[in-house]
Chains A and B, each alone.
Chain A
Amino acid sequence: MSHTVDSLKTYYLIFLALMVLTAVTVGAAFIDFGPLNISIAMAIAILKGCLVLWFFMHVRHGNPLLKIFAVAGFLWLVILVAFTLQDYVTRPWQDFEANQRWIKHQATHFEARAALPGNASHGSAH
């Protein structure tokens, strides 16, 4: 494999881009996009991840085999997220409120436990 070296300028530019994108993430967190909140945050995060992979981790200079493995990593993340989501998006959420009430009720012994001395942090986290 060739060992092409990028110029320092490239690295600084990418670093700058990552910082800007971080600022955008923080900024976006203050605006309510409704259901898009997560999608926007994830999109920025994926873009940042790609920049790191492509430039800092030198995938763009890698041979095809290396690129296949890099893509495979992403693909497997998609499998994890997609097949987990197929559960969440098809759950009977119309019962969500009732379920939450039931869970809270069931969890009362947890709260009782959290109230015990020495478990103060349980209570505060709750």
Chain B
Amino acid sequence: MNSSGKKTNYLNASHTLSSWFLTVDHKRIAILYLITISIFFFIGGLFAALIRLELLTPAGDLFKSDEYNKLFTLHGIVMIFFFLIPSVPAVLGNFLIPIMIGAKDLAFPRINLLSWYIYVIGATLATLAIMVGGVDTGWTFYTPYSTVYSNGAVALTIVGAFITGFSSILTGLNFLVTIHKMRAPGMTWFRLPLFVWAHYATSLIMVLATPVLASALFLLFLERVFHIGIFNPALGGDPVLFQHLFWFYSHPAVYIMILPSMGVMSELFAAFSRKRIFGYEFVACSSLAIAILGFFVWGHHMFVSGQSMYAGMVFSVLSFLVAIPSAVKAFNWSATLYKGSISYETPMLYAFGFIGLFTIGGLTGLFLSTMAVDVHVHDTYFVVAHFHYIMVGGVLMGYLGGLHYWWPKITGRLYPEAWAKLSALLVFVGFNLTFFPQFLLGYMGMPRRYHMYPEEFQVLNVCSSLGASVLGIGYFLPLVYFLWSLKFGKESPANPWGAKGLEWEIQSPPTTHNFDEIPVVTEEAYAYAKEDGKHHG
């Protein structure tokens, strides 16, 4: 108990600024991440809103071509590097992994804080680049445009992305060591929550792939600033080499984004159907399979880039393989529902939304990894729709679902359920209204990255912009009611969902050291009793 009569927890243990900015508590660092990535989410969202506003009419009313190029580039860079990649791991992973495995903190608490500072420095540099002129290369920085022709603040942005990469590497390293070395007695590998398995797989990608992005960006920097010929054909370089190096990271990066959300899904499906995840071991190993197979498919981004036909065929076949572990997950979650005692609280609505959106995103990925189809739809809105279904439909549904599920644990407060259900509904409807028309637009041949288009595409573009407004409200609502709940929300008990897992056995919010005594784990993950299921909801 502290002086105000409330139980001491990690939030009220101390109140000074330095106790936040110099904290080594994984939970406080998660909060720091939560605040910073939320800011970047809304900055990236603002760019998206402007894009959709411009595309409301076929003419270029609001922006010139140059400005529009910068707009979609900044939307991509901010959303991918500064929101999606850190989202679930840095916020929920940071907060939950030590608690879920029965540890008092991550293995390297100071490195954890360092990774947040590195993230902030990188993100600040990129923001500076936005202010001093912006970037118009697309988030992919393709050469030789980025090294020779672009007039934007490419070098500064690259330095920002380069630095942020180290934050990701350090987080991944921290998770790997923590999961290997700090599991509580009895917490065997196959008793780990699937959230932890997913983060283990994610961390492998972070550690193994991110250095290659750093190298590629460094080489790009050398060519742009010092004119050393690496990618520019006029200097004896090969532009396709940049694409190889870039996608060696950036394709697995999609799995850095989606795997943690899949981890969240496993927790949600178990908790809200009161059942152990069907085929737990397969779901656990499918995370690793996705992480590893994900390294062998990057060439499917380069079918029309001058890559050899043979390489294209190999990458095409390998890309199909990733569908297998992904399908294992989707089918096993569905099978978990069978004879489960399902309840439809907000996190579960997000989980159902995830399955729908991820399935559409994943299956259209198969269209794109088919070489002949890809030639037709490459660089059209079909691609834009596909990756938004994965990266927004998938990742963000997981992130928001997870945030709702663990909000009572993180803050000790309950959010207003009715408003939350409304927002989940708005997000699902708004998302589909925004991006489904883009599949049609792309299939009809509307290229991406242009601010003007033929008039026959207007109806679908208006649908898309309308959907974006609904989606925007859906995303804005949680911001409002989460903040509201901090002051006015009901206080949460330790386990408001009646869920299984070490995080629900400690108080909400947890104490600074999570556990007074290191717990001894004696049961499987998701050990929901049969009777528990019968009596629930």
Contacts and interface: CB of A to CB of B under 8 A. Distances in A.
B248 interface: yes
A72 interface: yes
Interface residues of B, number: 33
A126 interface: yes
B299 A83 contact: yes
B180 A65 contact: yes
B229 interface: yes
Interface stretch (B305-313, B331-339, B460-468): B305-313
Nearest to B180: A65
Interface string B212-225: 10000000000000
Interface string A51-86: 000000000000001000000110010011001101
B180 A76 contact: no
B228 interface: yes
A103 interface: yes
Contacts of A121: 226-227
Contact of A90 (B233, B244, B308): B308
B233 A86 contact: no
A122 B224 CA distance: 10
Given A111-B234, A121-B227, A86 B310 contact: yes
Contacts of A72: 208
Given A65-B180, A72-B208, A125 B248 contact: no
A103 B227 CA distance: 18
A65 to B, nearest CB: 7
Contact of A92 (B149, B241, B308, B315): B308
A76 to B, nearest CB: 5
Contact of A84 (B148, B232, B235, B244): B244
Q: What's the dominant secondary structure at chain A's contact region?
A: helix
A83 B248 CA distance: 10
Contact of A104 (B234, B298, B307, B309): B234
Given A65-B180, A79-B295, A73 B235 contact: no
Contacts of A80: 212, 245, 248
Interface in A6-23: none
B436 interface: no
A32 B302 CA distance: 35
Contact of A79 (B227, B240, B296, B299): B296
Given A110-B148, A110-B234, A122-B227, A86 B311 contact: yes
A86 B148 CA distance: 28
A126 B235 contact: yes
A84 B247 CA distance: 11
Contacts of A126: 227, 234-235
Nearest to A89: B308
Contacts of B229: 125
A87 interface: yes
B314 interface: yes
Most chain B CB within a 10 A radius of its CB, from A79, A83, A121: A83
B299 A87 contact: yes
B252 to A, nearest CB: 10
A91 interface: yes
B234 A87 contact: no
A79 B212 CA distance: 12
A93 B89 CA distance: 44
Contacts of B228: 125
A87 B212 contact: no
Interface string B271-301: 0000000000000000000000001101100
Interface string B307-331: 1111100110000000000000000
B510 to A, nearest CB: 29
A87 B233 contact: no
Given A104-B234, A121-B227, A87 B148 contact: no
Contacts of A113: 148-149
B95 to A, nearest CB: 26
Contacts of A73: 208
Interface in B143-168: 144, 148-149
A100 B315 CA distance: 26
A123 to B, nearest CB: 9
A111 B148 CA distance: 11
A95 B478 CA distance: 58
Interface string A115-126: 000000110011
Contacts of A103: 233-234
A24 interface: no
A101 to B, nearest CB: 11
Contacts of B235: 125-126
Q: Identify which of A73, A87, A91, A113 gathers the most chain B CB atoms within 10 Å of its CB.
A: A87
Nearest to B176: A69
Contacts of B232: 110
A87 B307 contact: yes
A92 B312 CA distance: 13
16 contacts: A76-B295, A80-B248, A83-B311, A83-B315, A87-B299, A91-B307, A91-B308, A100-B233, A103-B234, A110-B144, A110-B234, A113-B148, A121-B227, A125-B227, A125-B235, A126-B235
Given A86-B308, A90-B311, A110-B234, 18 more contacts: A76-B208, A76-B295, A79-B296, A80-B248, A83-B314, A83-B315, A84-B244, A86-B314, A87-B307, A87-B308, A91-B306, A91-B307, A92-B308, A107-B233, A107-B234, A110-B232, A113-B149, A121-B227
The 7 closest A-B pairs by CB, nearest first: A87-B311, A125-B227, A107-B234, A90-B310, A90-B308, A91-B308, A103-B233
